Amino acid sequence: MEEKKMVLIGDKFPELKVVTTHGVIELPKAYKGKWFILFSHPADFTPVCTTEFVAFQMRYKEFKELDTELIGLSIDQVFAHIKWHDWIEENLKIEIEFPIIADDGRVSETLGFIHPGKGTNTVRAVLIVDPDAKVRAILYYPQELGRNFDEILRMVKGLQISDKEKVAMPANWPDNELIGDRVIIPPASNVKDAKERKAKYECYDWWFCHKKLK
């Protein structure tokens, strides 16, 4: 039996041509130079998925401010996506502005979004992809648990700051229990740097130094 593979952190996002509610899109080409989040949901017209799409849309402006696009996916036909999109707008008064991929299973198989024990439904997967089309983070949720969208927003912010400042983020950043909203300096790579760290930054020790973002 052929082993099923999944996309891993650090991989290049595969080149895919997808059918969406906004027409045919070529990934990752359509978002060249931008961050984008591709997320799958088990099915249209289901309550947890509906709450998730509303949650993403409510934060869409914040993602756009981070130069980050959103694109959803499930193994449903495009007319089902359109009908669900219209239902959300008519009944919940919220317009879903980002595209939704109508997958026949091939995209989900390529990305590793189908759990062997869950039939043909996609899991609640999230891929965060950077402007170089590299997968930077992966989240998987079970069907019975809706995602935390503030956490996804936090991850994009943290990854962008990490890239720009060459720093790491502590647990629960920006509300870490030890250093608050400060960021962590990369570990020293030699004795000289280790000695200079404690003089240059606030440190618990030479291997745990931190600073305030400018």
How do the domains of the chain map onto residue ranges? 16-147, 166-214
pLDDT tier, 142 (very low <50, low <70, confident <90, very high otherwise) = confident
Please give the Cα distance from 137 to 151 (Å, whole number): 12
> At the fourth CATH level, which superfamily is domain 16-147?
Glutaredoxin (3.40.30.10)
Please give the Cα distance from 147 to 132 (Å, whole number): 26
Q: Decide if domain 166-214 falls under CATH 3.30.1020.10.
A: yes
Mean pLDDT of the chain: 93
Which residues are part of the catalytic machinery? 49
Cis amide prior to 174 (ω within 30 degrees): yes
Contacts of 190 (CB under 8 A, 6+ apart): none
Give the lowest-confidence range in 8-17, 75-84, 115-124, 184-193. 115-124
Please give the Cα distance from 52 to 72 (Å, whole number): 10
Q: What is the pTM of this model?
A: 0.93
